[in-house]
Amino acid sequence: MKKKTILPIPAQRALQKLGQDIKDARRRRRIPMAIMCERTDMTRTTLAKIEKGDPTVSLGGYASVLFVFGLIDQLKDLVDANHDLIGRRLEEESLPKRIHLPRSTKMNTPQDHD
């Protein structure tokens, strides 16, 4: 028996929306399933799973479809630091308050010898 993939409900909904958006994008572009399968080098079954948001399909399959649509840059920037507000806040919290140079590289200040 095949093990069922268990995802949090918000993740399931996000994948289902992604799948529906992919299906809508393909139909807006008037690309039949057979041609899409040829361009992505996948079976109709796999494409149908992607269009349903099936979590068992590899990320590479989703990436291939986005590439055909010309939307691969959006995947590339998905978790870019510019969009990761929580990660940046956490990083800022752990930044040191002061930065000290190691003793061996500190500049010696000239002393006045009169």
CA–CA gap between residue 14 and residue 9 (Å, rounded)? 9
Q: What is the pLDDT of residue 3?
A: 65
Whether the per-residue pLDDT at 114 is higher than 60: the answer is: no
Q: Which residues contact 43 (CB under 8 A, 6 or more apart)?
A: 37
Q: Which amino acid is at 25?
A: A
Class of domain 9-78: mainly alpha
Q: Which residues contact 49 (CB under 8 A, 6 or more apart)?
A: 56, 57
Q: What is the pLDDT of residue 92?
A: 81
Decide: 19 and 48 in contact? Cβ < 8 Å.
no
CA–CA gap between residue 98 and residue 96 (Å, rounded)? 5
Rounded to two decimals, what is the model's pTM?
0.73
More confident residue, 51 or 82: 51
Work out the average pLDDT over 58-76. 95
More confident residue, 35 or 98: 35
Q: What is the pLDDT of residue 10?
A: 96
Place of tokens 């068992």: 56
